[in-house]
Amino acid sequence: MKRSVSFILILLIASFLLTLPVSALSLPVSELDTQPSLGDSIDAFLNEHRSNNAAVAVAVFEGDTDIFTRYFGVLDEAGSIPLDETSVLEWGSTTKLTVWLAAMQLWDRGQLDLDADISVYLPDGFFKNLAFDTPITMLNLMNHNAGFQETDFVLEVEDEADVIPLGDYLAKYQPRQVFEPGTVVAYSNWGAALAGYVVECISGVPFYEYAQTNIFAPLGMTHTAIAADLSDNAYVQQKRKEFVSYLPDGSLSEDNKVFILPYPAGMCCSTLSDFVIFAKALLNRDSRLLTAEGFDKLYSPSLTYTNTDLARVYHGFLVDYEFATPIVGHDGNTAGGSSRLLLDLENNRGMVVLTNQLGGSMYRTKMAELVFGISEHHNDIDGYYIPARNVFEGRVKLMYNLFLINRCHITSEMTEGLYINILPDRFEISTADYLVPRHDYRLYDALAVTWFVLAAMAALSGIVRVIYLMVKRKGCRLDLLGAVYGLGLGASLLALIPEIPSLVLAILALLLVLCGGACAICQLRTKRTENALLLTKLSRLQLWSLHLCLIVTLLNYFMWDMLIF
């Protein structure tokens, strides 16, 4: 009887189990099927690109579970230091996530109003280049629409001794505000560093100290530094010296160990394991960072694409639609490498990448496609557009026109797989707007190129005249003035160096005007003697060319702000 009952129970249990869905008896698909094939795909991809010399650290995870981790390549040129769990690489602009997280912590504690004018948190009279009465808020900084043009001054230094405090840097170097806050999105390193300074002003401690105390230490990130000189973590400061950097073509990059002055915008360095800890804490809504309400706020849209409800930014965290599902995170580039942190909030999956390759798009994008799939967005766009992340005012605009940085030809092939919101006057993508030109920029480009060519010719002319005077040991007043005039106009090329004060260039331009006038008077008074006739004709041709060069130079110096977008 007992055996019959046992047999019947076994049959009942077996029948019940057979009626369950197959998924209830199986491991999750990601663990059973995807994990091996995904790891194999990543390994095959890394081996395929072995020839470019880059070292790559990559990790993929679901929730708290590691799917796989890979360390690939060597750090030094000699190939004696393998990339491993002790190695340190640079985050670049992914560092900005610490700024936005810190701001949300202060909001969580009631110390920061995201919609308030940030001037109330900054020292009195801090801003010097604002052009609009509309206040700048923390949300504007998070959404990169505070109105600042691209920074036209030094962002990094090679000598550690040149590092200055964040507040001093931001006060000294301020970009012009060219757009009304909230109207145009233009990615801004300066704006992100300013947000870090707001955190500094509210908390009363340097931003790097705030980040160490409130983000890194609670998570156990013991191998992470963020200060401009990396002095907040001795281990990282020392280990960073080990790696060299490579260009995408596999050639060695020079001078890659720089110190970023607006450091909250891009100086963070760490091991891959610390990078993973940070990413997992964001994915899993770790209570050591924010309350549940804080995370709900963080992962809600702070900016949407115009005329849509499609999220564009989650309080500083960028939303990308280049993959099969929307991905939240950030990427980064420095002189020493690149990184990316990607979070699939819907499927609770994340990925981080660190590499010592500049740009590193093949690793940051192509490997991520293996993990998150490929988007099927297609955009029919063709034409010239002006990136909102640009220099629209000031003499550095001259350099942007000279090298055609001020515009780009966008084609449908370039936008395949990217979500782009197309509007009559611009299109929107990630953290940048691309504006339809209101003027024919070919005129400005031609003016810049003409100035550059004439200034170079003027410098050559001045050198030739100096050599002539030195060899012949004689010459008329016109020759001496012509030599000085040509060298002075050639020196106008100093305008391409942002560190040269505008006052110095203005004084130089005034001297050139005086010198040009003296040359013209001297030329008109030159006697047409038989011996001097040829020299006079050459001098006239040369000097009138120099006068033309002077006119174009002055147009660029003093009228460039009038030729704004």
Among 347, 368, 353, which residue's Cα sits nearest to residue 62?
Answer: 347
CA-CA distance, 366 to 340, in Å (whole number)? 12
pLDDT, position 540:
65
pLDDT in the model for residue 247: 86
The Cα angle at residue 34 between residues 284 and 333, in degrees rounded to 5: 60
Angle at 294 between CA 135 and CA 260, to 5 degrees: 60
Q: Can you tell me the distance from the alpha carbon of 101 to that of 216, in angstroms, rounded to the nearest whole number?
A: 12
Query: Confidence band (pLDDT; 50, 70, 90) for 228?
Result: very high
- Beta bridge partners, 351, equal 60, 342
DSSP state of 29: H
For residue range 146-186, what is the model confidence (pLDDT) as tens digits? 999 998 678 899 999 999 999 999 999 999 999 999 999 99
Model confidence at 24, pLDDT cuts 50, 70, 90, reads: very low
All residues at 6 or more sequence positions from 395 whose CB lies less than 8 Å from its CB, including other chains = 495, 502, 505, 556, 557, 560
**Phi first, then psi: what are they for 39, rounded to 5°?**
-60, -40
Cα four-point dihedral sign 391, 394, 396, 400 = positive
Query: For residues 324 and 375, is the Cβ–Cβ distance under 8 A?
Result: yes
Cα–Cα dist 77/68, whole Å: 27
Encode pLDDT of 474-505 as tens digits.
Answer: 666 667 777 787 888 888 888 777 777 778 87
Mean pLDDT in residue range 238-262 = 88
Please tell me what DSSP assigns to residue 74.
Answer: B
Structure tokens at 242: 């080990």
**Ranges of each domain in the chain:** 73-303, 442-562
Q: How far is Cα 517 from Cα 519, in angstroms, rounded to an integer? A: 5
- Choose the weakest-confidence range: 94-108, 500-514, 519-533: 519-533
Q: What is the pLDDT of residues 317-345, one digit of tens each?
A: 999 999 999 999 999 999 889 999 999 99
Nearest to residue 215, comparing CAs of 107, 333, 324, 102? 102
C-alpha separations of 479 from 5, 204, 400, 490, 553 in Å: 120, 63, 35, 16, 22
The residue that leads in pLDDT, 250 or 297, is 297
Q: Are 100 and 147 in contact (CB under 8 A)?
A: no
| Range with lowest mean pLDDT among 58-62, 352-356, 393-397 | 393-397
- Residue partners of 278: CB distance under 8 A and separation at least 6: 97, 215, 219, 221, 224, 270, 341
**What pLDDT score does 59 carry?**
96
Residues 6+ positions from 475 with CB-CB distance below 8 Å: 468, 469
Look at 119-128, 161-170, 530-539 and tell me which has the smallest mean pLDDT: 530-539
Q: What is the pLDDT of residues 350-359, one digit of tens each?
A: 999 999 998 8
As a whole number of angstroms, the distance between CA 62 and CA 348 comes to 6
SS (H, E, C) 267-311: CCEECHHHHHHHHHHHHCCCCCCCCHHHHHHHCCCCEECCCCCCE
Share of the chain above pLDDT 90, in %: 51
Phi, psi of 318 (to 5 degrees): -80, 145
Distances from the Cα of 518 to the Cαs of 267, 477, 514, 525, in angstroms?
Answer: 52, 10, 6, 11
Contact 515, 483 (CB under 8 A): no
pLDDT reported for residue 371 = 93
Confidence band, pLDDT 50/70/90 cuts, at residue 20: very low
CB 168, CB 201: distance < 8 Å: no
Task: Write down the architecture of domain 73-303 according to CATH.
Answer: 3-Layer(aba) Sandwich (3.40)
Residue with more model confidence, 16 or 463: 463
Q: What does the block give as tokens for 495? A: 């305008």
**Rounded average pLDDT over 242-259:** 85
**Residue 8: pLDDT above 50?**
no
φ/ψ of 275, rounded to 5, equals -60, -40
Instruction: State whether the Cα torsion 271-273-274-278 is positive or negative.
Output: positive
Phi and psi at 379, nearest 5°, equal -125, 130
Sign of the alpha-carbon torsion through 356, 361, 363, 368: positive
Question: For residue 328, what are the β-bridge partners?
Answer: 319, 343
Is 110 strand, coil or helix?
A: coil
Is the per-residue pLDDT at 460 higher than 50?
A: yes
State residue 552's pLDDT score.
Answer: 77
CA dihedral 193, 196, 200, 203 (to 10 degrees): 170
- pLDDT reported for residue 51: 77
Q: Is the pLDDT of residue 17 over 60?
A: no
Among 130-139, 197-206, 509-518, the range scoring the smallest mean pLDDT is: 509-518
Q: Terminus-to-terminus CA distance in the chain, angstroms? A: 94
Q: What is the mean pLDDT of residues 236-247?
A: 92
- Share of residues in the chain with pLDDT > 70 (%): 87
Distance CA 345, CA 525 (A): 80
Beta bridge partners of 72: 56
DSSP 320-387: E-SSSS-EEEEEEE-SS-EEEEEEETTTTEEEEEEESBSS-HIIIIIHHHHHH----------EEEEE
